[in-house]
Amino acid sequence: MPIFTADLPLSLYIHLPWCVRKCPYCDFNSHEVKDNLPETLYLEALLQELDDHLPLVANRPLISIFFGGGTPSLFSAQAIEQILNGVKQRLLLTPRIEITLEANPGTIDQMRFQAYRQAGINRLSLGVQSFQDNQLQTLGRIHDRTLAIKAIDIAKQAGFTNFNIDLMYGLPKQSLDQALEDIHTALSFQPTHLSWYQLTIEPNTLFYHQRPTLPSDDLCWEMQLAGQAVIQQYGLQQYEVSAYSLVEKQCVHNQNYWEFGDYLGIGAGAHSKITDMKTNKVTRFSQIKHPHAYLHATKRQIQNKKCVEKNDLIFEFMLNALRLHHGVSYALFTQRTGIALKDIQPLLNTAKQRGLLLDHPTYLRSTALGKRFLNNLMEMFLPPSGGS
């Protein structure tokens, strides 16, 4: 087996699992705040868990830190700063590390955004989802159009020059014009990054049990094509299925996922992927899911620890890398999986013959047809039935 490269990038994901109200489409590990937010207890637990994992990532610098949720902006700037200081005491940080915090427009004010920036946050991701009040109400959001616009203005006034707006399309009873109006509104604020993705109905959500009327697949495809044209007019370039950015403003953290880098996740239900370059083994594991159980465990036990086998590695790499608009080099496949390219050559040849992969000697990239039928392309790399 080829040897992994020693400079495999490492990111840190910090899960803050509480929110004001659970949205009906959300299948993330998020929980409504019932009483007071246990900030102090939770940040102590996070740093204790980080201590437990340090031997796995010793002497490896972080290229990004991402506070996800839930609603991380429920946490005070003081708590965020304490967490970041704890991380800095334990791990190396690259000089230009990107530190992102997800924020709900319904939970912010100007003083808080300024304090987040002073605490070390240098990138915001604002969960707007739509600028239409009726859609926001249907989606169960705690903000309206006015609050969404106010949040963006406050973020810019607080000095955030690098921020993402999170937006959805294919919303209940949404028309093409309404979807495009949302894009125009979002991009009028000149964000450096736009996450624009189609609403999907996931199991274990309210929408799954009380399904709303969604636009047809053909209409959603029309929204996607028309929306991409509008986004390009504003100077943002697509670099992933649902991600668009200015040059050099791609989300470092998410790009590391898509390029199959390593990441350590801490917090209730957080997932990790860590490579041992001495043994050529990739391990995945997760943490206790429910925040109450996480906080009150005498020892936080790693859940579902698994060494990823060869066939699963192939599929997982493709599941991520094929999402990238411009693809990745074939060399990256070997560097990140330790698997020789010749081992997947028959699969690549078949995908190329079907017109789903670009016929290129050094680059792995889906064709226009492959992008439209991305799930079918990814499924070609599924492990054979019966195991790895």
DSSP string, 308-357: PPHHHHHHHHHHHHTTBTT-EEHHHHHHHH---GGGTHHHHHHHHHTTSB
* pLDDT at residue 378, as a whole number: 95
pTM given for the model: 0.94
Residue 337 CA to residue 165 CA, distance in Å, equals 32
**Nearest CA among 44, 15, 80, 27 for reference residue 209:** 27
Question: Going from the N-terminus, what domains does the chain have, and what CATH number goes with each?
Answer: 10-256 (3.20.20.70), 329-382 (no CATH)
Residue 229 CA to residue 326 CA, distance in Å, equals 17
Cross-strand pairs, 286: 271, 303
- Calculate the alpha carbon distances from 264 to 59, 100, 103, 224 in Å: 14, 15, 21, 33
Amino acid at 353: Q
For residue 368 the two structure tokens come to 């226009």
Paired sense of beta strands 193-198 and 237-240, if any: unpaired
Considering only 182-196, 299-313, 340-354, which range has the smallest mean pLDDT?
Answer: 299-313
At residue 375, φ and ψ (nearest 5 deg) are -60, -40
Block residue for tokens 């953290």: 253
10 Å CB burial of residue 155 (0-12, 13-18, 19+) is buried
Q: pLDDT tens-digit profile of 254-297?
A: 999 999 999 999 999 999 999 987 888 999 999 999 998 999 87
Residue 222 CA to residue 195 CA, distance in Å, equals 18
For all residues of the chain together, what is the average pLDDT?
92
* pLDDT at residue 33, as a whole number: 86
* pLDDT at residue 176, as a whole number: 97
Q: pLDDT tens-digit profile of 32-73?
A: 888 889 999 999 999 999 999 999 998 899 999 999 998 999
Q: pLDDT tens-digit profile of 311-355?
A: 999 999 999 999 999 999 999 999 999 899 999 999 999 999 999
